[in-house]
Structure 1
Amino acid sequence: MHADLAIVGGGPVGLALALEARARGFTPVVLEPREGPIDKACGEGLMPGALAALGTLGVDPAGHPIAGIRYRDARREVAHRFAGAPGRGVRRLVLHAALRERVDAAGIEVRVEKAEEIAQDDTGVTVNGMRARWLAGADGLHSRVRELAGLQPGAPRGRSRAPRFGLRRHYSIAPWSDLVEVTYLDDAELYVTPVDERTVGVAVLGGKPADLDATIARAPELRARLDGAAPASDLRGAGALRQRSTARTAGRIALVGDASAYVDALTGEGLRVGFAQASVLADRLAADDLPGYERAWARATRDFRVLTAGLLAAATSPARGLIVPTAARLPRVFGAVVERLAR
């Protein structure tokens, strides 16, 4: 065997899995075709649980404290500050660089190559001619491993929810709040995340086509805040956000992170859930019980899937306009949901 675990995808979850595997005595190898820190269109808010998970891996990326979440619409707003430790807004490039530095320090091999061929048998997996005991697909929303492993479902029958997409750009302006601010418009949500002392990230989630500038123009308070602020990054997009898989394992292959299935980005907990999946997958490999990962994955992602699916159902229905008013009328309920997602 060349490695105990081949990890296809060197984003944050793939690198976290490599560190988790090394901590359990395995020899992981990461395959990632992109060199240098990898950017991605995302909200960039690390909730307290995600920050704590990184801490257990010895990773502490620089950023801006996040003390809670604020929801607003044209007439109302409601905010909840975390009861415990704060989260942190971290630019994706900074996060990836911090994880890669830790991976390099741990002596984990990262190969700059794309997984072209994957084959498995009863004793292992071969990828690009390299032999490993197991293989993990951490290659994102549009996972090639998911497809090659036969875990990509067919087209859904009947009516399905319209796909949602995301766009993100940074602006050179000092953050005006230590909260992640979510503005609900009729057909989209705007997210503002402080990521350092001089920069905020602004993302829009909604249907396609999306136009970040046009969406900001429909949010008067945010438009006024950003008036005159220079863009600090190029516009980046992601989607379609909702992805499914028929299972999380097939033989000696497992899926982790967005590759394993994804609901939506509107609760901002994708990385926290991905890190949790990496931890439980490493546990199951240490126990030589890869089939048990399916149950562990379900437990690790249950809260996220249930709460996100419920909020998404409301956000894509005639009840959308009631989300912020209801949260404002029931601040304790809103706070309880935020705390649950923040863990």
Structure 2
Amino acid sequence: MLEHRHDVVVAGGGPTGLAVALGCAQAGLDVVVCEKRPGVIDKACGEGLMPGAVRALGALGIDPPGHPINGITYRQGSTVARAAFRTGPGRGVRRTALHNALRSAVERHGVPILTTTITHVSQRSDHVRADELRARYLVAADGLHSTVRELAGLTKVTTARSAHVPRWGLRRHYALAPSTDTVEVTWAAHSEAYVTPVGPHTIGVAILSSVRGGFTQQLAAFPDLAARIADAEPLTSVRGAGPFRQQTSSRVAGRILLVGDAAGYVDALTGEGLAVSLATAAELVRCIRMNRPTDYERAWKRASRRSRWLTEGLLWARRQPSLARHIVPTAARTPWLFASAIDQLAR
């Protein structure tokens, strides 16, 4: 009996991996997903979908429930800067709701989701093996600390001299009605707090920081926010993620392609990570359909360039004490500049 060969094996069943699988299935490709965690998967993230992410999901036929987001608000002490989205609304969506919507769509298309972990890969001229599976292509969508990226030799080793200060994230939900239809970002000396409306009576609070510590300890840097949620009922336990920065030497190694956080990650500072992941997932599917995997590296760079440049620039300013304290005041003094930056991120 001839061994069955899939068109695509996707390692990782998070939103990006499922988006790739759904795109492949809609294109008529034989695809299978490998994800060791069964059911709906939660993850620490800001949960604010930029307008570009909402449109990308819509192109896949996905319309997850959530709360409209119409812009971004920056706060630092009494200084406030607001910018509205120019290209349509975003949406605050619980990670579990997003994952459930994508997983349900993938299952409706008959895509198998195997509860297995890929521990070995090898390649030939016309196929790749992922443990016992054989396919024309293997897609690594297995997150920040990607196993497949490591197996493919695509993890870029950072020297101590060039290493960046690592940053981590924590997130928790509270039973509290949103006070605004924007994502509120409050800036402190070494961290930022993101408040995202994800339902009519639910907000998500995420804290990104270069200083390690528990949620309560991190929240102390934001006294106004701490007071606001002091009497609110916590709806979820604290989840963490990081360190954020992950560097890769390439997004392509033969028939292995990287996407999402596995493809390299700068920081969650600007909040458009999922939008970029969905855009690059669509490019990956296009390259696979054309049997042109080498085109994907250039397509990934093109689709992610704006985000990478803006995030690197803002993160660099964040690390300069003399500049960091002026980020929000500058945004408030030059609303046209702030609105332009937000418009670039929202696309």
Same fold (TM over 0.5): yes
Unaligned runs of 5+ in 2: none
Confirm whether residue 13 of structure 1 aligns to residue 9 of structure 2: no
Aligned partner letter, 1:326: T
Q: CA RMSD in A?
A: 1.0
Distance 1:83 1:4 in 2: 39
Answer with 204-213 or 131-140: which moved more: 204-213
Answer with 76-85 or 212-221: which moved more: 212-221
Q: Which residue of 1 aligns with 2:39?
A: 36
Confirm whether residue 277 of structure 1 aligns to residue 295 of structure 2: no
Q: Which residue of 1 aligns with 2:61?
A: 58
Q: Which residue of 1 aligns with 2:25?
A: 22
Q: Contact 2:190–2:211 (CA<8 Å) still a contact in 1?
A: no
Distance 1:139 1:84 in 2: 31
Partner SS state of residue 338, structure 1: helix
Deviation by residue 1:76-97 (Cα, 9 ceiling, x = unmatched): 0100111232110001011000
Distance 2:123 2:65 in 1: 40
Which residue of the other structure, out of 331, 334, 345, is the alignment partner of 1:330? Answer: 334
Aligned partner letter, 1:305: R
Distance 1:257 1:221 in 2: 34
Deviation by residue 1:195-253 (Cα, 9 ceiling, x = unmatched): 11111000110113133223323323212221200111010000000000000000110
Deviation by residue 1:29-57 (Cα, 9 ceiling, x = unmatched): 10000001111100000011101100011
Distance 1:80 1:215 in 2: 26
Partner SS state of residue 158, structure 1: coil
Q: Contact 2:177–2:202 (CA<8 Å) still a contact in 1?
A: yes
Aligned partner letter, 2:66: G
Unaligned runs of 5+ in 1: none
Question: Deviation at 1:21?
Answer: 1.1
**Structure-to-structure mapping, 1:27-176, within 5 angstroms:** 27-176=30-179
Distance 2:87 2:314 in 1: 24
Answer with 83-92 or 237-246: which moved more: 83-92
Taking structure 1 as the reference length, the TM-score comes to 0.98
Distance 1:157 1:300 in 2: 30
Q: Which residue of 2 aligns with 1:339?
A: 343
Aligned partner letter, 2:28: G
Confirm whether residue 230 of structure 1 aligns to residue 233 of structure 2: yes
Q: What percentage of residue pairs aligned between the two structures are identical?
A: 49
Partner SS state of residue 192, structure 2: strand
Taking structure 2 as the reference length, the TM-score comes to 0.97
Question: Deviation at 1:134?
Answer: 0.5
Distance 1:80 1:211 in 2: 31
Question: Deviation at 1:278?
Answer: 0.7
Q: Which residue of 1 aligns with 2:202?
A: 199
Question: Deviation at 1:157?
Answer: 4.8
Partner SS state of residue 294, structure 2: helix
